[in-house]
Amino acid sequence: MAPLFHIYTCARSSDVSTLERDLYRSPSIANSDVGLTILWNQPSAAAAYARAIETATADFLVFAHCDVYFPENWFERLAWEIDRLMLLDPSWAVAASGGVTAAGEVVGRTWDCSLAPLFPENGGLFGKASDGPVPIVSFDEMAFVLRREAGVSFDPLLPEFHLYGTDIALEAERQGRTCYGLDMPLIHNAKPQLSLGSDYVRSYRYMVRKWAARLPVATTCGALTRNPFALPLRRLSIRYKALCRRSTYTDQRVSDPSAKVRELGIDRVLAAPLSQARV
């Protein structure tokens, strides 16, 4: 019998300590309840994940960053959400934490240490709670699930490690499939984003060429658009904030993500019925 879930992550040799702090410590992984495959030292995320799909056997493939911590009950809650999603829309292909609607609203709550200083009123949680799956056009790649039966895959020609979530969402749309944002809180123990480097630029330009007729599309890093000034201005803005507003870009990575889960009440959210899930 095929497993329900299997997790894939891309990592470099320098990421071992990050994996040990976050992904490896996720209860379902630590207890071997959910399988994990590390794709080491890959040239691009999309190419690596496209190859992974070719040999995958699980019904639902979870792709995550190596600095993500999946709390207790996260996968049990995901199975519950998938059952509900199958009844709501049998044509769905992708579901994600941190989904972005066509209007640019982020669906699904996440504690991301690089963004926590910007949301002090919510204990550092960003993203919107929802009472059910919400249609999205893109998502943050920190954690998302692909329904293998949908037959959608990644573009192996997309370079680097950016925008592959937006690309597969658009590919699903092109094939008549749908994508949804889920309120599945987790810990993203990421370092602050101080710039959009040349690697992001290469991914962005590839996407603009590929999807020119479909743009603009909202993403968590700003709109993907044919406007030639949009990306330079966004890069300049991020660098300005990193240099002049350091208080919002402090490194708040935590050594014990499970303690942050308890502090924020995420454990109660994941264990409760969705109608009662509020932090």
Angle between helices 198-210 and 230-244 (to 10 degrees): 150
Higher pLDDT, 18 or 131: 18
Q: What is the pLDDT of residue 238?
A: 86
Token pair, residue 146, equals 């692909």
* CB within 8 Å of 250: residues ≥ 6 apart: 117, 192
Residue 180 has pLDDT above 90, yes or no: yes
- Please report which confidence band the pLDDT of residue 133 belongs to, taking 50, 70 and 90 as the band edges: very high
Q: What is the pLDDT of residue 59?
A: 98
Q: What is the pLDDT of residue 118?
A: 72
Residue 250 has pLDDT above 80, yes or no: no
Measured from the Cβ of residue 92, the count of other Cβ atoms closer than 10 Å reads: 19
- Span 256-277, pLDDT tens digits: 999 999 999 999 999 875 444 4
Higher pLDDT, 174 or 276: 174
Question: Where does residue 17 rank: exposed (0-12), middle (13-18), buried (19+ CB within 10 A)?
Answer: exposed
**The amino acid at 177:** R
pTM of the model: 0.94
Residue 61 has pLDDT above 70, yes or no: yes
What does the alpha-carbon distance between residue 87 and residue 237 come to, in Å, rounded to a whole number?
43
What does the alpha-carbon distance between residue 6 and residue 36 come to, in Å, rounded to a whole number?
6
* CB within 8 Å of 124: residues ≥ 6 apart: 111, 112, 113, 115, 116, 117, 252, 264
- Span 40-55, pLDDT tens digits: 999 999 999 999 999 9
Residue 140 has pLDDT above 80, yes or no: yes
Taking the alpha carbons at both ends of the chain, their separation in whole angstroms is 36
Residue 142 has pLDDT above 60, yes or no: yes
Token pair, residue 187, equals 């810990």
Residue 121 has pLDDT above 90, yes or no: no
Q: What is the mean pLDDT of the chain?
A: 92
**The amino acid at 181:** G
27-31, 179-183, 232-236, 272-276: segment of lowest average pLDDT: 272-276
- Domains of the chain as residue ranges with CATH: 5-276 (3.90.550.10)
Please compute the mean of the pLDDT values over residues 87-112 and round it to a whole number. 95
Q: What is the pLDDT of residue 3?
A: 94
Token pair, residue 92, equals 């769905």
Residue 211 has pLDDT above 90, yes or no: yes
Q: What is the pLDDT of residue 104?
A: 94
Q: What is the pLDDT of residue 274?
A: 45
Q: What is the pLDDT of residue 246?
A: 61
What does the alpha-carbon distance between residue 162 and residue 141 come to, in Å, rounded to a whole number?
8
In DSSP terms, 143 is beta-bridged to 64
- Please report which confidence band the pLDDT of residue 119 belongs to, taking 50, 70 and 90 as the band edges: confident
Q: What is the pLDDT of residue 227?
A: 97
Question: Where does residue 184 rank: exposed (0-12), middle (13-18), buried (19+ CB within 10 A)?
Answer: buried
Running DSSP on this structure, what letter comes out for residue 191? Answer: P
- Please report which confidence band the pLDDT of residue 278 belongs to, taking 50, 70 and 90 as the band edges: very low
Residue with tokens 């995901």: 78
Question: Where does residue 137 rank: exposed (0-12), middle (13-18), buried (19+ CB within 10 A)?
Answer: buried
